[in-house]
Amino acid sequence: MSNYSISGKVALVTGAARGIGFETARQLAERGASVALVDLDLAATKAAAARIGDRAIGLAVDVTDAAAMQGVVDQVVAAFGRLDIVVANAGIAPRVATLRTMDPAVFERVLEVNQLGVHRTVHPALPHVIANRGHVVVTSSIYAFVNGVLMAPYAMSKAGVEQYGRALRGELAQYGATAGVAYFGFIDTDMTRDGFADDIAARFLATFPAFLMKKLTPAEAAASVVAGIERRSARTIAPRRWTGYSVLRGLLNPLLDVRTERHRVVQTVLKDADQQFTAPRATAEVSS
């Protein structure tokens, strides 16, 4: 199945007040869709919708609130008459910390937003997506398949989102609807900048090959999502340089895990992280 026309469709995008979510909504609107932007801050979300134009509305809701998300879907259908496309993009990341020192409440909040928030966004929309043979995108990350040291709950949540999207695609096939998983590498968003802002994070990222660290803009990442919707793609990976790693993950991941255990610089960074944050780190969550 391919060549899905976005023109005339109605899309709901979460985490849409800024960053990748906003750019995805804007580019869907450019292709002729009506768009509902969903985020926590009502004023910021309405302002973002106003920047897109008359066929955009802004709604404020916490994606972890199942009843509220049902209400959002109802509002979108009431406003535009249908719902075809869902982009479950909202997510948060903790500041880097080891599992021993990370605030348990932060750990659980990341899972709640990134995993349950995706389900609570997609589930109420499914009757409409099925009826209209539409498309769902769930936002995962390269952290679904790379070692998640210092970002364990984020990696855990994104691996779960990958499985959610794969299962959903299989289950929607009988209806002629589709789902895809978007895997983002390093994108120049507030979340990436804030999440990797401290010295420990900078030292850890310096151990990665430089070519893997080059960032895309939110507009470039969103363009890959929109192109994936038009192709009804099962997987969208941006930057595309991570595609080879994803394909070879079964071979590369055992090697990466051994490297993590034995690499002198990596282990020094992890030791410093564990000692620097001797008490549970009440890290502030940052959203995409």
Q: Is 169 exposed, middle or buried (0-12, 13-18, 19+ CB in 10 A)?
A: buried
Q: Are the beta carbons of 22 and 16 closer than 8 angstroms?
A: yes
CA distances from 243 to 121, 148, 205 (A): 27, 18, 19
Q: How many angstroms separate the CA atoms of 72 and 66, rounded? A: 10
Q: Decide the pairing of beta strands 135-141 and 10-14.
A: unpaired
Least Cα distance to 63 among 85, 35, 91 occurs for 91
Residue of 154, 164, 183, 245 marked catalytic = 154
Collapsed DSSP state (helix, strand, coil) of residue 152:
helix
Positive/negative CA dihedral, 122, 127, 133, 134: negative
- 268 CB contacts (<8 Å, ≥6 apart)? none
How far is residue 288's CA from residue 286's CA, in Å, rounded to a whole number? 7
Residue 32 phi, psi (nearest 5): 100, 10
Active site residue 154: yes
Residues forming the active site: 154
